Amino acid sequence: MTDFASPTAPPTPGTETPSGGRGRKKLRHLAVALLLILLVFAVSLVPLSIWRRGTVVAEAEFNPGIAPFKLTVRRVPVPVTDSQHFIVELTRGQYVVTSFRYFWAGYTPQHVEISWPCIERFTVTFDRSYTATCDWSWGAGATWTMSGPDQHRPGLSPYYFEPRNPPPSGCQPVSLPQ
């Protein structure tokens, strides 16, 4: 019988000793490799999240005297629509009060203006042609509307929502408002 506590007894090659050995060394290398893989994965997500966060193109603040409200318009890249989306977000402190996303397929406005004459109503104008209006009330919700020329309505065209195949038997046919 081998006494592992004895400093004079050499370990048999290929066996593990209580103070460590090959098995523990392999485990340490495996842990370091896993840690490096996780670190590379996490570091690769940072630029993606910064890219998806977008850039702030317009900001406004309304201070009623207690805690200020902040209105932010961010331009966010979205390769699928061949354009960039605009996220309009009203916050108070760190909390989002209301937000909305506007986009035009194949078109990205270059100029954004905010008008905020009273706390319950603000407008965001894109390229001096399209006006997004938000009427909101604390605790009662928000109503978002968009007005502007018809050639570039925000969002996807009705083509994307029309069914390509006839509806199954027994289903009502789908028709879009004109």
Same domain, yes or no: 132 and 71: yes
Same domain, yes or no: 41 and 29: yes
Is residue 5 pLDDT above 60, yes or no?
no
Same domain, yes or no: 84 and 44: no
Q: pLDDT tens digits, residue range 77-110? A: 877 767 788 889 999 888 888 888 888 777 788 8
- Say what the pLDDT of residue 115 is: 92
In angstroms, what CA-CA distances link 22 with 4, 6, 161?
Answer: 16, 19, 62
Q: Pick from 9-13, 22-26, 91-95 the range whose average pLDDT is largest.
A: 91-95
Q: Which of 40-54, 66-80, 119-133, 158-172 has the lowest mean pLDDT?
A: 158-172
Total Cβ atoms within 10 A of residue 11 = 14
Domain extent for 38:
23-53
**Domain contains 127:** yes
Same domain, yes or no: 71 and 138: yes
Mean pLDDT, residues 134-154: 77
The C-alpha atoms of residue 17 and residue 10 are separated, in whole angstroms, by 10
The verdict on pTM exceeding 0.75 is: no
Same domain, yes or no: 38 and 96: no
Same domain, yes or no: 135 and 59: yes
